[in-house]
Amino acid sequence: MKNDVLNESGTALTKRELVAQIASETGLTQIEVFNVVQKTLDGIIDALGAGKHVEFREFGVFEVTTRKARIGRNPNKPEDVVMIPVRRVVKFKPGKRMRDMLAGK
C-alpha cells in the first residue's frame, strides 16, 4: 500500500481510494472498511473537540492549539489593518517513522 494508493490525477489520496485499497488487501467489503474508517475519523474529531490530543505511535500526534489574536494587513492595501481574533486550530506533529520516510531514510 505504498505508491499505488495515489490517484491517477495527482498526489491526493481520497477516502474512497483508501477504502478501496484496504478492502482489496484485507478481503473485507468496501462498506465494512468505510464504516471503520469513518468511525476512526469521527473518534479523532470527537477527541479533539473535547480538548484531548490523539496519538498514533510512529504516525504522529494531533492536538488542538490556540492561536493568539493578532493584527493583519491586506496585502493589496497595506494601510488597511485587520484584527484577526483568537482561534483554535488542529496541529499535527509527525511521528518518527513518518519523519524518517519524508527525510528519505
pLDDT for 4: 54
For residue 82, the one-letter residue type is V
pLDDT digit string, tens, across residues 3-60: 455 545 568 999 999 999 999 999 999 999 999 999 999 999 999 999 999 999 989 9
- pTM, rounded to two decimals: 0.75
Evaluate the CA torsion angle 72, 76, 79, 81 in order and state its sign: negative
Residue position matching grid coordinates 498514533? 56
pLDDT for 10: 67
C-alpha cell at 36: 471503520
Whether residue 2 has pLDDT greater than 90: no
